[in-house]
Amino acid sequence: MIENQYIDIFNQYRDKIDAKSAPGLNSQRDKAFEAFRKQGFPTKKLEDYLYLDVAAEFMPDFGLNLNRVPFQGNPYVAFRCEIPNMTTNLYFVLNDLFHQEHSPQVEYPKGVFVGSLKQFAEEKPEVCSKYYGQIADVNNNGIIAFNTMFAQDGLAIYVPKGVIVEEPIQLINILKSEFNYLVNRRILIIAEDDAQVKLLICDHTVDESHFLATQVTEIYAGRNAVVDCYDLEENSDKVTRLTNTFVLQEGSSNVLVNNMTLNTGVSRNNYNVKLNGEHAEAYVCGMVIADRQQYVDNFAFLDHAKPHCTSTQLFKYVLQDEAKGSFCGRILVEKDAQKTMAYQSNNNLCISPNAKMYAKPQLEIYADDVKCSHGLTTGQLDEEALFYLRSRGIGYDAAKLMLMQAFTAGVLEHVRIPRLRERLQDLVEKRFRGESARCGNCMVCK
277 and 247 in contact (C-beta within 8 Å)? no
| Cβ atoms within 10 Å of 393's Cβ, excluding its own | 8
User: pTM for this one?
Assistant: 0.94
Averaged pLDDT for residues 236-255: 97
Between 218 and 435, the more confident residue is 218
Give the pLDDT band of residue 379 (cuts 50, 70, 90): confident
Q: What's the pLDDT score for residue 16?
A: 96
The secondary structure of 362-385 as a DSSP string is EEEE--SSEEEEEEEEEE---HHH
Helix/strand/coil (H/E/C) assignment for every residue in 187-212: EEEEECCCCEEEEEEEEEECCCCCEE
* Spatial strand order in the sheet of 113-116: 113-116, 154-159, 181-191, 211-221, 239-249, 266-275, 295-304, 324-333, 356-365
Cα 124 to its chain centre, rounded Å, is 25
Give the pLDDT band of residue 404 (cuts 50, 70, 90): confident
Least confident of 75-79, 310-314, 440-444: 440-444
Q: What's the pLDDT score for residue 170?
A: 94
Give the pLDDT band of residue 84 (cuts 50, 70, 90): low
Give the pLDDT band of residue 102 (cuts 50, 70, 90): confident
| Distance in angstroms (rounded) separating the CA atoms of residues 412 and 34 | 41
Determine how β-strand 113-116 pairs with β-strand 154-159.
antiparallel
Least confident of 72-76, 191-195, 396-400: 396-400
| Distance in angstroms (rounded) separating the CA atoms of residues 397 and 412 | 22
Residue length of the chain = 446
Averaged pLDDT for residues 366-375: 93
Return mean pLDDT, the chain: 91
Give the pLDDT band of residue 445 (cuts 50, 70, 90): very low
Averaged pLDDT for residues 145-172: 97
Our CA angle for 445, 412, 285, nearest 5°, is 105
Between 296 and 384, the more confident residue is 296
150 and 17 in contact (C-beta within 8 Å)? yes
